[in-house]
Amino acid sequence: MNLDKWIALVFLVISVAYGYAAFTYQLLPFERNMSFNPNTMPMVLSVLGAGLALLIIISKKPVADADGNVLGDINVARLGDYKFGQALALIGAMLLYAVALRPIGFLASTTLFVMGTSWILGERKLHIMMIAAVSGAFIIWFLVQEALGIFLRPLPWFMS
């Protein structure tokens, strides 16, 4: 089974779960007599979603084009060349950034994030990394704070 069919299967599960939530939705007493309810459209959508997911699952395999690309611009034959490790490490870094942003402040977390991700990508010139990350973090913080007027806590919790 191809990746797209697995995804369709996931959508089928989501549609069914969503449909369950929609069909068993607790209507308020006065809503029962209304012709349009909070779960009217969700019920329609869940049926449509499940139907389409099934259609994708049972439909025939897509035909490969001249380059052998079955799926869009992804070259499945070259899948081994894809750098999944780096991508996963970057996703991990983004999650860390999300968690760290509030406690350790915008400037420190951003600097660490930019330096860390460029290190993951293979950059080893520490001084250039440092300059780019610190100046980038500071400029963006300044623009967001001053030009857009949105407060971002710049410093860690123990300093502010």
Partner 1 sequence: MLEGILLGLDMALSLQNIALVVAGCLIGTLIGMLPGLGPMSIIAIMIPVAITIGDPASALILLSGVYYGAIFGGSTSSILINAPGVAGTVATSFDGYPMARQGKAGKALTIAAISSFAGGTVGVILLMAFAPALSSVALLFHSAEYFALMVVGLSAIAAFAGTGKVAKALMMTVVGLIMATVGESSLFNAPRFTMGLMDLQSGFSFVTLAMALFALPEALYLVLDPKRGSVGDAGRAIKDLRVTRQELKKIAPVIGRQSLQGFLIGVMPGAGATIASFLGYAVERNIAKGEEQDEFGKGSIKGLAAPEAANNAACTGSFVPLLTLGIPGSGTTAILLGALIALNVNPGPRLMIDNPSVFWAVIISMYIGNVVLLVLNLPLIPYIAKLLTIPRNYLIPFILFFTMVGAYIGQNNATELLILVGLGVGATVLRFADYPLAPLLIGFILGGMLEDNFARAVNLTDGVSFMYERTMTLGLLVIGVLLIFVPTYRRMRAQALQKGVAQGD
- For partner 1, the binding residues (CB under 8 A) are 2-4, 6-8, 11, 14-15, 18, 21-22, 25, 28, 34-36, 38-42, 45-46, 48-49, 52-53, 55-56, 59, 62-63, 71-72, 74, 78, 81-84, 86-87, 90-91, 94-95, 97-99, 101-102, 110, 113-114, 117-118, 121-123, 132-133, 136, 140, 144, 148-152
To which residue do tokens 């029962």 refer? 32
* Least distance to partner 1, CB of residue 138, Å: 13
Output the CA–CA distances (angstroms, integers) from residue 83 to 88, 120, 157, in the order listed: 9, 11, 36
Is-contact 4 59, C-beta < 8 A? Answer: no
Q: Is 51 helix (H, G, I), strand (E, B) or coil?
A: helix
82 or 159: whose CB is closer to partner 1?
82
What is the token pair recorded at 90?
């970057």
